Structure formats: C-alpha cells, structure tokens
Structure 1
C-alpha cells in the first residue's frame, strides 16, 4: 500500500534513529593469570564503529608470542601454548573510520604448577637400613615461591623452600630426605606436600600432594617352634611342628633333622612339619631355618623331640657269628630304643635266669663250649611295655661222651646173640663206624652203623671191638672186649672186672664219708640221727 508523503514525514518524526558512541573493551580486563603450557585468548571488542582497525603490541615492543585474528568489530590475540615470554602488559589499539583512536591494556601474569608431586623411594625399604625419599615437583614457575613438606603420616620429616632460587624457566624441583625405616612403619604413608603461594595471583590449586604407602622388609626375627601335642609324644601319635616367625615379606622355611653322624637331613619347605604316626627313629633334633630373600637374613630355631613308648629291640646279634667253633670267643649283644630308657635282660632261655645284670647289654663267652649253645632271649621293658627277641647260638664241636652199650653183656655164652650200640654227641652229628682188632694188631672196618649185632656167637667173634665217632672237628674212640664167661686168663679179660670195681668204688667212697661224718657227730653229741645223716649234702 502506498503512503502519502505527508504521512511518511510524520512517521519519521515518531521513530527517530539512535546513533551509539564509539567504545572499546578488552577481555579479560586489566589483569589475567595464565598457566604456562595452557591456552590464553585476549579479546579486543568495539561498539559504535562499523569498520574498526585493530592492532596489538606488547610493552617495550616485546614479541607478541601469540596469533592475532580480526573478526569485524572485535580482534583476538591467542597464546597457545602460554610461555614465560607471554608475561607482559598487552596493549590493544582501535582506530574508527581513521578518525577516532582508543587504547586499552591488560597485564598477563604466568605461572606453572601443572601436576602433583612424584614420590620415589630407594632402595627397597629394609628395617634399620637407610632409605632415600625423593619428591619431584614437575615444571614449577616461579620456583622461588615453592615450599615443600615431607611427612610420615602426621609426623613432619623434612621442610624445604626455594625462596632463593633464581630460575627463570619452568623447572622440575627435587627434594630428598634420608631416613631409617622400622617395621612399625608398615602401612604408614609418606606424603609430599608442594605449595606455590604466589602473592596477588589468583589460581587453583596452589597446593598439590602425593602419598605412598610404606612396605618395610624386616626379619626374620623372634623365630620359635611349637610342638603339638608336645615335644615328647607317645609312639604312634601324630606330631605337628610349626615354625613361627616375624618377617616381611613372608620367609622361605626349610625343615631339617640332625642325624646321628652330625649331618643334616632336609625334610620339607613349609612352615608346618607333620608326622602322622611317630616312631622311635623320629626322635632327634629338628631345625627350622627361616630365610628372608629381601633382607638376606637367616634365623634358626630348634626343638628336641623325644618319642615315648614301649621299647623296640633294634639289635640282637652274635659276634663273630651265630655259628661258631668250640673254643672261639663269643659276644652276644642286645640293643633297644625307648623313652624312658629300657631295662634289658639278656639270658639263655634254657637257664631261665639272667646271664648278667639288667644294665648289661652284652654277654661275653670266652673260649665257648658246646654247653653254651642254645637259644638266647633279650627282653627290653619300661613303664609303657616290653618287647622280646630271640637268637640261636650254634656251637660246632668234635665228638664227646662216646659210649658203648652191650646187650646182654660183654661176658657171653657161645651161640648167644649180642648187640653193641655206640652213641656220641657232637655238632655236626658224628659219623659212627665199627672196627675189630685182628690178631696181628691191625683194625678191620666191619660196619658203618651205630648198632652192631652178632648172632650165634662163636669163638672167632670174640675180641676187641672199637667204636669210632668222627666229624670235621675231631674224632673219639671207645672199645669193648667180648669174651666167654669164665675165660679170664688173658690180661685183657680183666677189663670188665676193673670197670666193675671202679663202679663199686665210686659208690662206696661217698658212703664211707657219710659214716665217718656221722661217727664224729656221735662222739660230739653223744648220739646220732640217721634221718639227719641222710639229709647231708655231699
């Protein structure tokens, strides 16, 4: 729709145009704090000027250290990254329509405190040995404002400031401290507190901290052994030996047993040594060896284990052998193990009596005889019971006690039957043979049997018969003469009479002795008793 000229003029009067004055601002204004390595943008903005002209410069014509970018009514100066060279007063100049000029400035202040401290501890912590704590504060500026505090939990170890440091660049500052850790430090924290309290500079954070937990190696120490159910268990019981120690890190534990000859028998690598069913040979000295591979220290603990129980016979022997020759020297030995110590009885079973005192563990038989042969018994006993063992001593010897028995008698009648039996003892059993003496004096072997029988006796059967008993250890001979009754003319025929007389004499002598004794008693006492006389032991 068309508007008439008069109306248009009227409208112009109702809505007059407002023209703004030329102004400028700089953002941020007056002062800004920037961290080295970061990004900072300064903005110069105008109003009231359609085509402003911008320029930037640093005080004393220092390099800008940034990039300028114009965008119509505003201009930016970007510093990326911010460096120490950007610590200046920056001036922004704006000219409007080549007529009007305005300037504003902003002060840029820089600092560097980019990250938390770094804590290093070396070497690995060992109780009682020196260790160095190092705290590194990376890329600090200005360092002459830096303050560092080292703490162990709440206890202050070390303080340091860098007030006199003249560094003009961002540098990593280092604080070290030597201390002696103890086992009680385990779990505590070493803390490094770094502060950069720059006056009139507003930035965060002004304090940075780092902590590190302490792990102190120590030991082994206070090593001990516990025995369950005790150090003197009964035979057959289970036994657990536990090695207890204080050590960080956990130590390597080796169990050993000291043998009789003094050497060590290595058992297991474990803190617990278990023996399900103990025996006497488990008695002895047990050693727990504890090694800390970090501290390179070793500690030992020992326990003496004594197994209680009934005795066990460990040795029953005959020296030089269980089979000997008569005349050799013989030793019989018995050994037994137990706790309490056993009482040992060593005897020959047939004697049913001790061959020596209880404490004796050996029987000596010098020049042994066949009578010493037989079964020997060792009995070991204590309050928990007893045990027995047997061994046989065999004595080899030549023939002994050779005897001839004639049935019916050596004085015979013609036509009778006579049996002669020869017996002898020896080990091994003797071999028996019969010889007959010829008229020439030579002997003729007539039998290899122990029994010789002659039937229908004739005169040519009369004479001297010899029994010979022999083995590898000797020989023994006996003889008997057969004769007809009434024929005693020859001297040899007197042999049976001599034997008979000797037998009578052997009986008569004791009787005569008794009678003499009784006669003397009668003279002393005036009488005698036959009963008492018969009780006498000769």
Structure 2
C-alpha cells in the first residue's frame, strides 16, 4: 500500500513538472516594430508565461551597449529608450530563465531621422539690385535615402533637386532682388522617402529687401500758403528699408541752412513773413538718400516800408535817387509820387526807384511811397531839399553911369554859407572885400562894368554864381543961348562957368578916387 502511494506521488510530481516546463513561454512586445524616429520613446516589453519567478537578461545582436534602461518586476522586464538615438539601432534580445529552461525573443530596431524644420535663409542682406543667395538646408537625414528638395518664390520654381545618400542636404539659388520682391515668400519643400516611409516638410521665408529711400513726399498742413500768424506743419514721408531718418533745411542766400534733423515733422507756430521760402526734406538710410522740396508762402500786408532820398539835401544840378522798399507777400505794388499844389503827381519809377538826373528847385518838396497788396497798404513820406543859388542886381545889370548898384546872392538852403565875391579884370580875378551875401557900388562908372563872381561854401560844398554889369556912359550937353549977350556978359558967364566947372571937376575927381573907383560899400538894405 505504501509502495503504491509513493508511486502515485512520483507520477503526479513528474506530471506537474512536465506541465510547467511545457507551458513556459515569453512574449516580446511590440510584436511588429515599425521604423522609430530619432527623438521618440521606445519601450520593449518582455513577459514570461506560466513561470512564477523567471529571471530576465537583455543583450544586443551586435556587441554594443544596450543604451536603454532595464526594469524588471515579477514576470515582466522592460527595456526603455527615451529618447531613441541613432546608436539605438540594433537587434535587442530578451532572455528569460525559468528553472533550467531558457527562452528568448528578439526585435530589430530601425531608426530614422528627419528634421522638424528646414533651415531657410538668405546669405547676407538683401539689397535692391545686388546679388544674394537663398539657401534651404535639410539637416540630420538618417538613414541616407532619397530626398527631393524644391525652392519656390510664390508659385515660381527657383530650383529643385533629388539627393541620394546624403545626411545633410542643401539647395541654393542666386537672387537679385527688386523692390517687388519685398514681402514675397520663398518656400522650401522637402520630401523624404525610405522604404514605406514618406515624410514631407515645408519652410517659408518672407523676403525683407533693403532699399534706399524712395517716393519721398512733403505734406503741409493746412496748406503751403497761409496768412501770417497761422500755425504751419510740414510732414515728410518716404518708403525705405531700413527706416529713413529725416533732415530739414531751408534755402538762404548762402545756400541750404540746417534747421532740424531726426524729425519727420517740422513745426512753424505762428508763421511769419520770414518763414516764407523753399524747404527741403532729405530722407536717408545707409543705402542712400532722396530729397524733396516745397515752397512756403506766408501772406502779409506791406510792412517795413522805407522811402529813401539819396542825398536828401542837394545842390542844384546834382543827381538824386529816390528808392522805396517794402516787405510783403504777395509782393506789394510800389507807387512813388510827389506832392504838388494841384495834388499828387505820380513818378515813372522802375522797380521802386526814380532818378532825378539834375535836381532843380521845382524838384524840391514832399515825396510819398505807397506800398499796396490785397492784404493792406502802407505809406511813407520824406522830403527833398534843393539848394538853389540866385545872383541878383538892383536896380538891374544895365545901369547908367553914376547910379548906385547893389549886387547880391540868395541861397535857398538849410545850411549857413560863406560868401566870396570876385571881379574878373584882364583874365585875372580881383577878390572884393565883401564877405556878405551882397554889396553896393556907389555912383557906378565905366570901370565898374564887368563880370562878377560869387563863390558860396557850406556843408554841401562849393557853388558859384555869376553876373555881368553893363554901365552906360553919361554925356554932358552945352546949353542953348536964348539970345546974344554982350561980350563981357558972355565972358563973365563963361569965366564963372569955367571956374565952377573946374571946381566941380576937381571935387568929383577927389570923391571918386576916395570913395568909388576900386572901393565898394556893403549894402545895408536893398534899394
């Protein structure tokens, strides 16, 4: 009975062992392993079946480090790659041991690499008219296979190419940018083929074309023509890349004068007449410059009107220039005139200037300048004084011998004068003793006849006047006898007359010698 029981126990134990050994299996997941992209996570899971306490080990088909992390818990062992790298490409074997039995499973891991983004760039800066290069790079391609790359501008294909067995692919195209290219898109398309795997990638680049300032414009608010006192604003704009800076200047007699810089807007508050003129805005960047001009008109009534007479005090016969200037916008009409007893007499002025070639006494008086435009009027007055020298003789320059004669000189002037009188005799001058404006010749004789000169000196200079004196000779007539007388009476009368005549002749001779001939008397009053 005991023997029979032992035999049964042996059979049952053997049956259990055979059942256990025969049912021990392992599974390695995933069962179907596609290509794994570099950077992803991969977990290989090895699980034993019908073995309560298996032991696991992992190895590679090619002698390389595992490169992953092993984690075993009970009947499951995992090999994790996080992230997958190119070095993880291998055959991985899971070995499970259950008692004296070993089981193993293997999986081949294939990896590929394809970038998340293309490198699309330009070499250097894009400038209008200058050669540049657009480059598309597909980095980190693994394993080397067939890659198709295409470069396009808009819908236009610039370049395309198929590449084989390269792990870094570059496609370039030369580009000479125009202004129309600015803002356009460059597209790079890459298609990756490996066995049953097909990956596509696209990158875009917006062209930023650099160019010098162009289409520079100046706008004026409220307008380029304003009344004096209005606020004025000038704004300059330009198309450019990089953004332009602005310089403002104004044209003067010396050339362009800088008035502002690094400002696109120029303010002219309460504009004045002096703000009128030509303004220039110059837009510039490192690629070039462009300038625009605008003319500003500030309207104002005539102002600062000046009437000048040069010289304002003149001698008769001198040249005189009368000039009128005025500041206004629009330019004022200048009218020159002279005040007369009958009213204003307009002068034939040219560009506000009137010339008197030889001033006369009639030119003396008040002159007026009227500056007028649509906005107003301004009037200025000034005076011209003409120094006139007049030589006069009283009673006249034709007298009879024995008359008293006064010669004088009248000077119309604002300045006091000195007088010098001369008489011309035998081509020589005799300076007379009088220094006044007149003198008298008492009982004039033939010898006093002749040419007299007066020389006047004052602040205006020298001025000369002349006069000729003519003396008529007086002839004595013999008395007519009424009737014959006796010889004695006649002789007595004759003797008496002869004595009287001799006495009178002597007296007259002495008088002339001492008071008349060659001597003159200052006139105390005009006769």
Q: Same fold (TM over 0.5)?
A: yes
Structure 1 residues 463 and 278, CA gap change in structure 2 (3 angstroms): farther
Which residue pairs with 2:247 in the alignment?
254
SS of the equivalent of 2:164 reads: coil
CA contact (8 A) 1:403 1:424 kept: no
**1:24 counterpart = 2:34:** no
Cα distance in 1, alignment partners of residues 410 and 209 from structure 2:
94
2:93 to 91, 94, 115: 91
Which residue pairs with 1:344 in the alignment?
334
Structure 1 residues 239 and 63, CA gap change in structure 2 (3 angstroms): closer
Cα distance in 2, alignment partners of residues 424 and 358 from structure 1:
30
How far residue 111 of structure 1 moved from its aligned partner, in angstroms, is 1.0
Aligned-residue CA RMSD (Å): 5.0
How far residue 46 of structure 1 moved from its aligned partner, in angstroms, is 1.7
Cα distance in 1, alignment partners of residues 222 and 81 from structure 2:
81
Structure 1 residues 88 and 326, CA gap change in structure 2 (3 angstroms): same
Give per-residue Cα distances to partners, 1:375-431, cap 9 Å, x unaligned: 43222334554322233445678x766999xxxxxxxxxxxxxxxxx9864331358
Cα distance in 1, alignment partners of residues 46 and 267 from structure 2:
87
1:82-481 alignment runs, 5 A limit: 82-98=84-100, 100-152=101-153, 155=155, 157-158=157-158, 160=160, 162=162, 164-167=163-166, 171-183=167-179, 189-201=185-197, 206-218=199-211, 220-227=213-220, 230-233=223-226, 239-260=232-253, 263-269=255-261, 270-278=263-271, 280-291=273-284, 293-294=285-286, 296-306=287-297, 310-312=301-303, 315-319=306-310, 321-322=311-312, 328-336=318-326, 342-350=332-340, 352-354=343-345, 356-359=347-350, 361-366=352-357, 368=359, 372-393=363-384, 425-430=412-417, 472=458, 473=461
SS of the equivalent of 2:257 reads: strand
SS of the equivalent of 1:116 reads: coil
CA contact (8 A) 2:229 2:270 kept: yes
How far residue 199 of structure 1 moved from its aligned partner, in angstroms, is 3.2
CA contact (8 A) 1:396 1:428 kept: no
How far residue 22 of structure 1 moved from its aligned partner, in angstroms, is 0.7
Normalising by structure 2, we get a TM-score of: 0.61
Structure 1 residues 444 and 93, CA gap change in structure 2 (3 angstroms): closer
Cα distance in 2, alignment partners of residues 143 and 394 from structure 1:
112
Give per-residue Cα distances to partners, 1:292-328, cap 9 Å, x unaligned: x15x232233334455554456553344x54556665
Cα distance in 1, alignment partners of residues 455 and 87 from structure 2:
135
How far residue 357 of structure 1 moved from its aligned partner, in angstroms, is 1.3
SS of the equivalent of 1:113 reads: coil
Cα distance in 2, alignment partners of residues 33 and 303 from structure 1:
71
Cα distance in 1, alignment partners of residues 256 and 457 from structure 2:
54
Cα distance in 2, alignment partners of residues 471 and 46 from structure 1:
147
How far residue 350 of structure 1 moved from its aligned partner, in angstroms, is 5.0
Structure 1 gaps of 5+ residues are 1-12, 405-421, 433-441, 451-461, 478-487, 494-498, 504-538
CA contact (8 A) 2:136 2:171 kept: yes
Normalising by structure 1, we get a TM-score of: 0.60
How far residue 112 of structure 1 moved from its aligned partner, in angstroms, is 1.5
Which residue pairs with 1:43 in the alignment?
45
Cα distance in 2, alignment partners of residues 161 and 443 from structure 1:
125
1:30-69 alignment runs, 5 A limit: 30-36=32-38, 40-50=42-52, 52=54, 54-59=56-61, 61-66=62-67, 69=70
SS of the equivalent of 1:268 reads: strand
CA contact (8 A) 1:343 1:359 kept: no
CA contact (8 A) 1:430 1:469 kept: no
Structure 2 gaps of 5+ residues are 1-11, 395-408, 420-430, 445-453, 467-506, 517-522
Cα distance in 2, alignment partners of residues 354 and 75 from structure 1:
128
Cα distance in 2, alignment partners of residues 390 and 68 from structure 1:
113
SS of the equivalent of 2:145 reads: helix
Structure 1 residues 123 and 314, CA gap change in structure 2 (3 angstroms): farther
Structure 1 residues 95 and 429, CA gap change in structure 2 (3 angstroms): same
Structure 1 residues 158 and 88, CA gap change in structure 2 (3 angstroms): farther
How far residue 106 of structure 1 moved from its aligned partner, in angstroms, is 0.9
Q: How many residues are paired up?
A: 419
Cα distance in 2, alignment partners of residues 68 and 236 from structure 1:
87
SS of the equivalent of 2:248 reads: strand
Which residue pairs with 1:411 in the alignment?
none
CA contact (8 A) 1:130 1:178 kept: yes
Structure 1 residues 148 and 26, CA gap change in structure 2 (3 angstroms): same
Give per-residue Cα distances to partners, 1:418-475, cap 9 Å, x unaligned: xxxx98643313589xxxxxxxxx9999x99x9xxxxxxxxxxx999xxx99864569
